[in-house]
Structure 1
């Protein structure tokens, strides 16, 4: 994987709706390749977020209804 592909995979992994499988298909690589180039992913998405200092998304505002 190129550095750009690794960055792209990390960015996509930060979004909960994306799966490793879908990202691998998009990039034309195997799931194992993603795990090899993004080793902190083996600890789960939380470990990935902590390793990349990805800020947590804000919680949706609660309505006062």
Structure 2
């Protein structure tokens, strides 16, 4: 095997490795995108529940009195 043929084989191996790595990274990015979407939806639901809970809350007069030790 001459040096040109060996260099071509080495380059093909490197290209194969880079293609596989690109596919794996693409899958990681896709998985992270799905996770971000799920977490975003969860945060929105939690914010809506928090706003509902705060909307019904009214401070009572007892909450505004100073503590008994004053």
Q: TM-score, normalised by structure 2?
A: 0.23
Which one has the largest radius of gyration? Answer: 2
Q: TM-score, normalised by structure 1?
A: 0.25
- Indicate the structure whose relative CO is greater, using CA pairs within 8 Å and at least 6 residues apart: 1
**Larger helix share, 1 or 2:** 2
